[in-house]
A and B are shown apart, each in its own frame.
Chain A
Amino acid sequence: MTKVTHNLGFKVLALFLVVISGVVSLLSTAAVLIGGEYGFYSGSPKPYYETFLCRQVTDQYADHVIDLYRYNPYRLESWAEQGVENFGFEILSSGGERLVAENVPEKWGRTETYNFSLYGSYTEKGDWYEYDVPAETTLQAYVKDPLTGNDEYWLTHRLYELTYRFRMVLLLLAFASTITFLATLIYLLCAAGHQGKTEEIIPNLQDRIPLELYFGVILLLGSLPLMVAGSMYPFNSFSDFVLMLCGLMYLYALGIASLMTIATRLKLGKWWRNTITFWVFHIGWKFTVGVFTTIRDAITALPMTWKYGAVWIFISLIYLANSKGSGTIFIMNCIILVLVLSVSSQMQKLKKAGENLANGNLEYKVDTSRMFRVFRRHGNNLNSLSKGAAIAMEQKIKSERLKTELITNVSHDIKTPLTSIINYVDLLKKVELPAEGKEYLEVLDRQSRRLKKLTEDLVEASKASTGNISAHLVPTDLCELVHQAVAEYEEKLGKAGLEAVITAEEPVYGIVDGNLTWRVLSNLLSNACKYSLPGTRVYIEIFKKGKYALISMKNTSREQLNIAAEELIERFVRGDSSRSTEGSGLGLNIAKSLAELQKGKFSLSIEGDLFKAFVKYPLAKEPTIQKEETVLAQDVKEAAETTENKE
Chain B
Amino acid sequence: MYNILICDDEKDIVSALSIYLSTENYRIFTAYTGREALQVVENNDIHLILMDIMMPQMDGISATAKLRESSNIPIILLTAKSEDSDKILGLNIGADDYITKPFNPIEVMARVRSQLRRYTSLGGMTKKASHLVIGGIDLDDESKTVTVDGEAVSLTPSEYNILKLLMENPGRVFSSTQIYEQIWNEDAYGSGSVVAVHIRHLREKIEINPSEPRYLKVVWGLGYKIEKEAKE
Residues of A with Cβ closer than 8 Å to B?
412-413, 415-424, 426-427, 452, 456, 459, 476-478, 480-481, 483-488, 490-491, 502, 512, 514-515, 517-518, 629, 632-633, 636, 639-640, 643
Contact = CB atoms under 8 A, between A and B. Distances in A.
B19 A427 contact: yes
Interface stretch (B41-49, B66-74, B216-224): B216-224
Interface residues of B, number: 37
B187 interface: no
B200 interface: yes
A245 to B, nearest CB: 65
Contact of A456 (B20, B82, B168, B221): B82
Interface string B1-41: 00000000010110011011000000000000000000000
Contact of B218 (A476, A518, A643): A518
Contact of A415 (B17, B80, B219, B223): B80
Interface in B206-232: 218-223
Given A459-B82, A517-B221, A418 B101 contact: yes
Contacts of A487: 193, 196-197, 199-200
Interface of B: 10, 12-13, 16-17, 19-20, 54, 80-82, 101-105, 168-169, 172, 174-178, 182, 192-193, 196-197, 199-200, 218-223
A485 B174 CA distance: 16
Given A476-B220, A485-B220, A487-B200, 10 more contacts: A417-B10, A419-B80, A420-B10, A476-B222, A480-B223, A483-B196, A484-B220, A484-B221, A632-B175, A636-B182
Given A412-B81, A632-B178, A423 B193 contact: no
A416 B80 contact: yes
A516 to B, nearest CB: 9
Most buried by A among B20, B182, B221: B221
A420 B80 contact: no
A42 B81 CA distance: 113
B19 A643 contact: no
B193 A415 contact: no
Nearest to A412: B80
Which residue among B10, B102, B169, B182 has the maximum number of chain A CB atoms within 10 Å of its CB?
Answer: B102
Given A419-B101, A419-B102, A427-B19, A514 B222 contact: yes
A416 B176 contact: no
24 contacts: A415-B102, A416-B10, A416-B13, A419-B13, A422-B102, A422-B105, A423-B16, A423-B17, A423-B20, A423-B105, A424-B12, A427-B19, A427-B20, A476-B222, A478-B221, A480-B175, A486-B193, A487-B193, A487-B196, A488-B196, A514-B219, A636-B169, A639-B168, A643-B168
B198 to A, nearest CB: 9
Contacts of B19: 427
Contacts of B221: 476-478, 480-481, 484, 512, 514, 517
Nearest to A409: B80
Nearest to A489: B200
Contacts of B175: 480, 629, 632
Contacts of B20: 423, 427
A427 B19 CA distance: 8
B52 to A, nearest CB: 9
A22 to B, nearest CB: 58
Contact of A483 (B12, B169, B192): B192
A481 B176 CA distance: 10
